[in-house]
C-alpha cells in the first residue's frame, strides 16, 4: 500500500538511477535527514549525544570504511582498530602542531594520512588473499598500536602516554574539549557521516565500485576483462582507510577527548567493526549503519532496561547482555546470513507486493 | 530510529525526577572482564560501608546515601556512558577506579563542576589544587608510591642501593607509565640501575617479560599491575624462581585475589599499602551488626576482610567524612555537587576521627587544603604469609621523598594549566 512504484514514472536516466528510485523511500530518506539535522539538535542532551549518538555515528563511518574494503572489494581486514588509531594520532599531531587551522580540516587530513598508511599495509593484498591477508592486516593492527605506544613523539612526550584533545573551535563554536555543547558535537559527526555515506554510495555504484566488486567476485576473471587489480585493491585500501581514519579522528577528538591506544584501539575494536558489517550486511551502505546501531545501541538499551528499569544487579545485567547479544548475532546469522540489510531489502520486496504476494 | 524512541521512553522513566533527598555516590564498578578480580572487592566494600552508614545512622546528617553502581568492565566507552547517565542524578563525587578514565573525566568533570576523587591513582599532578579545582587524589599517589618503595629498599639495604638493578613491570597504560618518571629520577639520585618492562592490556600473557627478567637478573622487581595481570605476574615470578621478598607491588597489586592463585609459591611477596590489612577494627563489628547479620551484604560476600575490601571501606570512610564536612561548612544536609567540592577541600582526617569510626590506626592522618589536594603521601609495606593466608604490615608508614616530588608536581600541573589556560587559584 505504502511502498509502491505504481504511478512513479522516470523520464530521464538520472531519475532512473537515483539512490532511492521509489518515491516513498525517497521521502522517508528526506524525512530522516530533516529530523536528524533540524529536529534532534534541539532536543539532545549530554547523555544522548555522548552515550548514544556519537558512538553510533562514528562507528557508522568506520563500518562504512571497512565495508568498502571487505564488503565491496572482498579483502578481509583485521586492522581497523590500528587504522582508527592512525586517524586519532594524526589528528592529535595536526591539532597540536597547527593550532590555528580549523580542526575539521585536520580531521579530513587525518583521513588522508590514514589512507597513505592503508595503502602501505594494502600492498601485501596484491600477493596474498583470504585468510592470509587477514593475518597480514592483523600484523598492521598490532604493529600500529605498538608504534603509538612505543614512540613518544606520537604522544608529544606526555608522561602518561595518553593523547588529550585540546580545545578547538569552528565558527566560534567549541568542537573539541570538555566545553563542547552536545548539539555541536552531534552536528559535526552527523555532517561527516552524511558526506561519507553519500560519497561511499556514489563511489560504489560507479566504475571504481564495479571494479572492486569484480575483484571480490572473481579476481582472475576481473583481471581478464581488464580490471587492474593493483589499482582496484589499493584504491579500496586507500578509500576504506580514509573513512576509518576519519572515524578514528572523530572518535578521539570529538567523542572521547583522551585516548589510550592499547585499550581503545586494540584488536577488540577491529573485531567489533568487522562484526558490525557482517551483521549489518556486507556490501551495503545501509548495512553499515544498521550494524553499527545493532552493536552500539543494543548494549546501552539492554543496560538501561535491565539495570534502570528492572533494577537488576549490574554484573548480572552485564553478563546477560553478552548472552542476549551473542544469541541475537547467532540467530540473525542463521536466519539471514546476508545481514540485517538483506532483511530490510526482503521486507521492502514484501511490501511492494503486499497484500497480494505471488 | 525506533530503537531511540524506545530508549527515550525508557530513560524518561529512569530519570523521573528525584522523589526524596538523597546523597548520590556513583561508583564505576567492574564485576566483569579481566579486571574483575580487582573490581569486585572494591564495589562490595563501598556498598557495605554505605549500607552500614544508612542502617546505623540513617544516612549522613539524616540524608540517606545511595551508591549508584555502574558497570564499566574497565572500558573507556562504557565509563563515558556511565558518567553521562549518572551525572544528572546529582552525583556528588566520581571515583572512576581507573587512571585512564580519570584522564578522560578531568576536563569533563571540571566543566560540569563535579568533584573527582582518585584515591591512590589517577593523575599525580592533580595534587596541586591551585590548578585542579575539583580533582583530589589524597591521601597518596603513584609518585609517592614509587618513592616509598625505593625508600623501603634503601632502609633494607642500610641506606644505599647504589649499583643495584631495579626493574619495573608495568601495565602498558597511563596507569603503569605514571611512576616511570619519578623512578628514573630516583635512579639517578640513588645510583641504581632502572629499567621498565611493559605488559600490554589485559596482561594474561607475560612469558616474554619474565624471560627478560630472568636474563637480566634484577635485584628487585617493582610492579604496577591491575586485574588479572597481578596474579599472572606473581605466577610467572614464581616460575622463574624470583625471590618473592624482592618483588614489590604497588597498592593495587597486593590483594588476596592476586597472590592466592600462586599458592605457597607466593609466600613473601610484598606490596605497598595505603591502609592496614586485616579485620581487627571496630568497624568490622559495626558492619557485622548492621549489614551482614541483616542479610544486606553486597555481592557474594566472599570478599569481606580482603585488602581491596579494606581499601573500599577506607574510600567509603573518606567520602563519608567529606560529605559530613560539606554539610558542616554549608549548613545544608542535602548538599549539592559544588558543596561537595568545598567539603573535600576543607577535609581533615585526624586519628580521633578514625578511632571514632572504628578505624583506629587504620591509616595515617592528613589534611586537605585549597593548594594541596594530595594528602600525606605516606605508604607502608605489607607482606604475604601464604601459610596463614594473611597480609601483614612489616613497616610503619614510610615518608616519601617530597623534596623531589613536590617540584615535579608543580611543574607538571603548571604545564597543564598553561596548555589549557587555567588560572591559578588560592
DSSP string for B17-84: ---S--EEEEEEE--SSTTHHHHHHHHHHHHHHHHHHHHHHSSBTTB-EEEEEEE-TT-HHHHHHHHH
**Over 80: is that where the pLDDT of B355 sits?**
yes
Q: Do B29 and A315 touch (CB under 8 A)?
A: yes
Residue B245: give its domain's CATH number: 3.40.50.2300
Is B150 domain-assigned? Answer: yes
What SS3 state is found at A212? helix
Contacts of B87 in chain A (CB under 8 A): 46
Measured CA to CA in angstroms, residue B321 lies from A118, A317, B53, B313 at distances of 54, 32, 11, 12
Whether A293 sits inside 8 A of B14 (CB atoms) is no
CB-facing half-sphere around the CA of A165: CA atoms within 13 A: 33
What distance in Å separates the CA atoms of residue A190 and residue A184, rounded to the nearest whole number? 10
* Whether residues B163 and B224 fall in one domain: yes
Nearest C-alpha of chain A: how many angstroms from B178? 6
For residue A200, the 8-state DSSP code is H
Chain B residue with minimum CA distance to A312: B69
B185 with B303, same domain: the answer is no
Question: Residue B354, class by beta-carbon neighbours within 10 Å (0-12 exposed, 13-18 middle, 19+ buried)?
Answer: buried
List of chain A residues whose C-beta atoms are within 8 Å of the C-beta of residue B178: 159-160
Structural domain range at position B324: 14-141+279-377+407-419
Give the chain B residue whose CA is nearest to the CA of A315.
B31
Closest-CA residue to B196 (of B224, B228, B157, B232): B224
Partner residue opposite A149 with nearest CB, options B32, B71, B172: B172
**Is residue B362 pLDDT above 70, yes or no?**
yes
Output the CA angle B174-B179-B183, nearest 5 degrees: 150
DSSP A229-293: HHHHHHHHHHHHHHHHHHHHHHIIIIIISEE-HHHHSSHHHHHHHHHHHHHH-TT-HHHHHHHHH
pLDDT category of residue A19 using cuts at 50, 70 and 90: confident
- Residue B238 is assigned to a structural domain of this protein: yes
How do residues A126-166 score in pLDDT, each as one tens digit? 888 888 999 999 999 999 999 998 898 998 888 778 888 88
Residue from B16, B27, B94, B172 whose CB has the most chain A CBs within 10 Å, to mutate: B172
- Residues B154, B31, single domain; the answer is no
Same domain, B171 and B302: no
- Residues B195 and B121 placed together within one structural domain of the fold: no
Q: How many CB atoms lie within 10 A of CB A243?
A: 31
pLDDT at A13 over 70: yes
Average pLDDT of span A40-61 = 92
Rg (Cα) of chain A, in Å, rounded? Answer: 21
pLDDT of residue B16: 43
Do residue B71 and residue A304 have CB atoms under 8 angstroms apart?
A: no
B59-100 pLDDT per residue, tens: 999 999 999 999 998 888 889 889 988 988 889 999 988 888
Question: Where residue A56 falls among pLDDT bands split at 50, 70, 90?
Answer: very high
Mark whether B37 and B134 lie in a shared domain. yes
Pick from B174, B224, B229 the residue to mutate for testing the A interface (most A CBs within 10 Å).
B174
All three cell numbers of B230: 597481578
Measured between CB atoms, which of A149, A161, A178 is closest to B110?
A: A178
Contact A46 B71 (CB under 8 A): no
The chain B residue lying nearest A47, using CA atoms, is B84
Q: Does some domain include residue B2?
A: no
Q: Chain B 7-26, CB below 8 Å of chain A: which residues?
A: 7, 10-11, 13-14
> Is the complex ipTM more than 0.90?
no
Kindly state whether residue B253 falls inside one of the protein's structural domains. yes
Question: Which spans in B191-281 are helix H?
Answer: 207-216, 228-239, 256-259
Contact A47 B85 (CB under 8 A): yes
Tell me if B90 is assigned to some domain. yes
Distance in angstroms (rounded) separating the CA atoms of residues A298 and A326: 11
| Chosen from B34, B39, B72, B173 to mutate, greatest number of chain A CBs within 10 A | B173
Contact between chains at A161 and B173 (C-beta distance less than 8 A): yes
Spatial contact of B138 and B409, defined as CB atoms under 8 Å apart: no
B250/B283 same-domain check? no
Residue A99: helix, strand or coil by DSSP? coil
Assess whether B196 and B123 both reside in one domain.
no
Lowest-confidence segment of A283-297, B7-21, B129-143, B262-276 by average pLDDT: B7-21
Chain A CB contacts of B99 under 8 Å are 160
User: Does residue B95 sit within a domain?
Assistant: yes
In degrees rounded to 5, what are phi and psi of residue A211? -70, -35
Residue B89 backbone class (left: φ over 0; alpha: ψ -120 to 50; beta: rest)? alpha
Is B180's CB within 8 Å of A32's CB? no
User: What is the per-residue pLDDT across A248-277, written as a single tens digit (0 to 9) for each?
Assistant: 999 999 999 888 888 889 999 999 999 999
Residue B8 has pLDDT above 60, yes or no: no
Residue to test with chain B: of A152, A159, A252, A264, most B Cβ within 10 A: A159
Does A178 have pLDDT greater than 90?
no
Is B181 within 8 Å of chain A by CB?
Answer: yes
pLDDT at B15 over 70: no
| Mean pLDDT within B246-263 | 92
* Whether B173 and A293 lie within 8 Å, measured CB to CB: no
How far apart are alpha carbons B68 and B277 in whole angstroms?
26
- pLDDT-above-90 percentage for chain A: 57
pLDDT at residue B145 is higher than 90: yes
The answer to whether B31 contacts chain A (CB < 8 Å) is yes
Q: Are residues B386 and B373 in the same domain?
A: no
Identify which of A159, A301, A314 has the shortest CB distance to residue B69. A314
Distances (CA, A) of B113 to B15, B26, B70, B84: 20, 15, 20, 14
d(CA A49, CA A56): 9
| Chain B interface test: which of A99, A178, A316, A340 (most B C-beta within 10 Å) | A178
Indicate if B394 and B271 belong to the same structural domain. yes
Number of domains in chain B: 2
* DSSP state letters, B118-178: -TT-S-GGGGBTTT-SSEE--S--HHHHHHHHHHHHHHHTTT--TT-EEEEEEETTHHHHT
CA distances in angstroms from A180 to A98, A183, A194, B416, listed in the order given? 20, 8, 21, 19
Contact in structure between A278 and A54 (CB atoms under 8 Å) = no
pLDDT at position A1 is 57
Give the count of alpha carbons within 13 A of B211, CB side only: 4
CB contact under 8 Å between B80 and A50, yes or no, is: yes
User: Which chain A residue lies closest to B101 (C-alpha atoms)?
Assistant: A258
Indicate whether B426 belongs to any domain: no
Q: Which of A51, A307, A318 sits opposite B73 (nearest CB)?
A: A318
Q: Choose among A105, A114, A127: nearest CA to A80.
A: A114
Residues of B in contact with A297 (CB under 8 A): 3-4, 7
Closest chain B C-alpha to A180 CA, distance in angstroms: 10
Tell if the CB–CB gap between B419 and A166 is shorter than 8 Å. yes
Which residues in B185-196 are b (16+ Cβ under 10 Å) and which e? bbbeebebebeb
B187 in a structural domain: yes
- Asked if B3's CB is within 8 angstroms of A167's CB, the reply is no
Return mean pLDDT, chain A: 90
Closest CA to A78 of A270, A243, A208: A270
Residue A137 grid cell: 592486516
d(Cα B79, Cα B300) in Å, to the nearest integer?
Answer: 24
Residue A180: predicted pLDDT: 84
Q: What is the pLDDT of residues B19-45, one digit of tens each?
A: 568 999 999 999 988 888 889 999 999
Q: Which of A159, A260, A300 shows the shortest C-beta gap to B173?
A: A260
Percent of chain B scoring above 90 in pLDDT: 66
Q: Do B84 and A47 touch (CB under 8 A)?
A: yes
Q: Where are the beta strands (DSSP E) in A4-138?
A: none
Q: What are phi and psi of B366, to 5 degrees?
A: -160, 175
Query: Pairing relation of β-strands B270-273 and B366-367?
Result: unpaired
Question: How much is the pLDDT for B10?
Answer: 47
Residue of chain B whose alpha carbon sits nearest to that of A252: B104
B48 and B86, same domain (yes or no): yes
**B86 Cα to chain A: minimum distance (Å):** 9
Q: Which residues numbered 76-135 in B keep a CB inside 8 Å of some CB on A?
A: 76-77, 80-81, 84-85, 87-88, 99-100, 103-104, 107-108, 110-111, 123
* Pair (B74, B210) in one structural domain: no
User: Nearest CA to A200 among A159, A133, A247, A153?
Assistant: A247
Q: Where does the pLDDT of residue B1 fall: very low under 50, low under 70, confident under 90, or very high at 90 and above? A: very low
Amino acid at each position: 500500500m505504502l511502498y509502491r512504484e505504481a504511478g512513479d514514472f522516470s523520464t530521464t536516466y538520472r531519475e532512473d538511477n537515483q539512490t532511492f528510485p521509489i518515491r516513498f523511500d525517497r521521502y522517508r530518506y528526506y524525512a530522516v535527514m530533516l529530523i536528524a539535522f533540524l529536529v534532534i539538535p534541539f532536543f539532545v542532551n549530554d547523555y544522548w549525544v555522548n552515550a548514544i549518538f556519537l558512538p553510533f555515528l562514528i562507528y557508522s563511518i568506520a563500518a562504512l570504511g571497512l565495508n568498502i574494503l571487505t564488503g565491496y572489494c572482498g579483502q578481509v581486514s583485521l586492522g581497523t582498530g590500528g587504522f582508527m588509531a592512525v586517524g586519532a594520532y594524526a589528528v592529535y599531531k595536526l591539532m597540536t602542531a597547527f593550532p590555528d587551522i580549523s580542526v575539521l580540516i585536520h580531521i579530513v587530513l587525518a583521513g588522508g594520512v590514514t589512507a597513505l598508511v592503508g595503502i602501505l599495509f594494502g600492498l601485501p593484498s596484491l600477493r596474498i588473499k583470504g585468510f592470509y591477508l587477514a593475518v597480514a592486516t592483523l600484523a598492521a593492527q598490532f604493529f600500529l598500536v605498538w608504534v603509538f605506544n612505543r614512540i613518544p613523539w606520537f604522544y608529544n612526550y606526555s608522561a602518561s602516554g595518553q593523547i588529550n584533545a585540546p580545545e578547538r573551535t569552528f565558527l566560534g563554536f567549541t568542537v573539541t574539549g570538555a566545553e563542547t555543547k552536545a548539539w555541536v558535537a552531534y552536528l559535526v559527526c552527523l555532517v561527516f557521516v552524511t558526506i561519507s555515506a553519500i560519497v561511499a554510495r556514489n563511489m560504489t555504484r560507479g566504475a571504481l565500485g564495479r571494479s572492486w566488486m569484480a575483484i571480490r567476485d572473481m579476481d582472475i576473471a576481473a583481471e581478464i576483462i581488464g580490471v587492474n587489480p593493483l589499482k582496484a585493491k589499493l584504491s579500496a585500501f586507500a578509500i576504506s582507510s580514509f573513512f576509518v581514519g576519519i572515524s578514528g579522528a572523530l572518535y578521539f577528538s570529538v567523542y572521547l577527548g583522551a585516548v589510550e591506544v592499547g585499550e581503545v584501539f586494540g584488536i577488540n575494536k577491529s573485531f567489533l567493526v568487522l562484526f558490525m558489517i557482517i551483521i549489518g550486511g556486507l556490501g551495503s551502505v545501509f548495512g553499515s549503519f544498521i550494524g553499527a546501531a545493532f552493536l552500539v545501541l543494543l548494549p546501552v538499551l539492554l543496560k538501561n532496561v535491565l539495570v534502570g528499569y528492572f533494577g537488576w544487579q549490574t554484573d548480572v545485567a552485564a553478563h546477560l547482555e553478552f548472552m542476549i547479544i551473542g544469541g541475537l548475532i547467532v540467530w540473525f546469522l542463521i536466519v539471514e546470513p546476508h545481514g540485517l540489510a538483506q532483511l530490510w531489502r526482503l521486507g521492502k520486496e514484501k511490501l511492494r507486493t503486499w497484500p497480494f504476494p505471488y | 530510529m525506533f530503537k531511540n524512541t524506545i530508549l527515550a521512553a525508557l530513560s524518561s522513566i529512569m530519570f523521573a525526577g528525584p522523589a526524596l533527598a538523597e546523597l548520590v555516590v556513583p561508583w564505576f564498578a567492574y564485576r566483569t572482564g579481566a579486571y574483575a578480580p580487582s573490581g569486585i572487592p572494591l564495589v562490595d566494600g563501598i556498598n557495605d560501608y554505605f549500607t552500614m552508614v544508612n542502617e546505623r545512622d540513617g544516612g549522613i546528617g539524616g540524608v540517606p546515601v545511595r551508591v549508584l553502581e555502574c558497570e564499566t568492565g574497565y572500558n573507556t566507552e562504557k565509563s563515558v556512558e556511565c558518567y553521562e547517565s549518572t551525572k544528572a542524578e546529582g552525583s556528588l563525587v566520581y571515583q572512576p577506579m581507573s587512571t585512564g578514565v580519570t584522564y578522560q573525566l578531568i576536563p569533563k568533570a571540571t566543566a560540569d563542576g563535579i568533584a573527582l576523587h582518585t584515591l591512590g591513582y589517577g593523575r599525580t599532578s592533580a595534587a596541586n589544587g591551585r590548578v585542579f579545582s575539583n580533582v583530589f587524589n589524597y591521601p597518596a599517589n603513584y609518585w609517592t608510591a614509587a618513592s616509598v618503595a625505593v625508600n623501603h629498599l634503601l632502609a633494607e639495604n642500610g641506606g644505599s642501593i647504589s649499583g643495584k638493578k631495579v626493574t619495573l613491570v608495568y601495565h602498558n597504560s597511563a596507569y603503569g607509565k605514571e611512576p616511570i618518571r619519578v623512578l628514573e629520577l630516583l635512579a639517578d639520585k640513588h645510583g641504581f640501575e632502572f629499567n621498565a618492562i611493559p605488559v600490554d592490556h589485559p596482561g594474561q600473557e607475560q612469558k616474554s617479560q619474565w624471560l627478560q627478567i630472568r636474563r637480566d637478573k634484577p635485584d628487585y622487581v617493582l610492579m604496577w599491575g591491575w586485574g588479572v595481570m597481578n596474579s599472572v605476574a606473581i605466577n610467572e615470578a614464581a616460575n622463574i624462581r624470583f625471590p618473592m621478598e624482592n618483588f614489590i607491588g604497588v597498592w593495587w597489586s597486593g590483594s588476596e585475589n592476586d597472590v592466592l592463585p600462586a599458592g605457597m609459591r607466593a609466600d613473601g611477596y610484598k606490596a605497598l599499602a595505603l591502609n592496614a590489612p586485616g579485620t581487627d577494627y571496630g568497624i568490622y563489628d559495626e558492619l557485622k551488626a548492621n549489614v551482614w547479620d541483616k542479610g544486606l551484604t553486597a555481592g557474594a560476600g566472599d570478599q569481606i576482610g580482603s585488602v581491596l575490601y579494606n581499601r573500599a571501606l577506607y574510600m567509603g570512610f573518606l567520602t563519608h567524612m567529606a560529605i559530613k564536612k560539606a554539610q558542616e561548612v554549608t549548613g545544608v544536609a542535602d548538599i549539592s555537587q559544588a558543596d561537595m567540592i568545598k567539603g573535600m577541600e576543607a577535609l581533615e582526617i585526624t586519628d580521633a576521627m578514625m578511632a571514632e569510626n572504628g578505624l583506629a590506626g587504620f591509616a595515617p592522618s592528613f589534611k586537605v587544603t585549597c593548594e594541596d589536594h594530595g594528602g600525606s603521601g605516606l605508604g607502608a609495606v605489607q607482606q604475604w604469609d601464604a601459610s596463614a593466608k594473611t597480609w601483614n604490615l612489616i613497616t610503619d608508614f614510610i615518608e616519601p621523598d617530597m623534596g623531589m616530588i613536590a617540584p615535579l608536581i608543580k611543574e607538571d600541573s603548571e604545564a597543564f594549566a598553561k596548555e589549557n589556560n587555567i588560572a591559578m587559584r588560592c
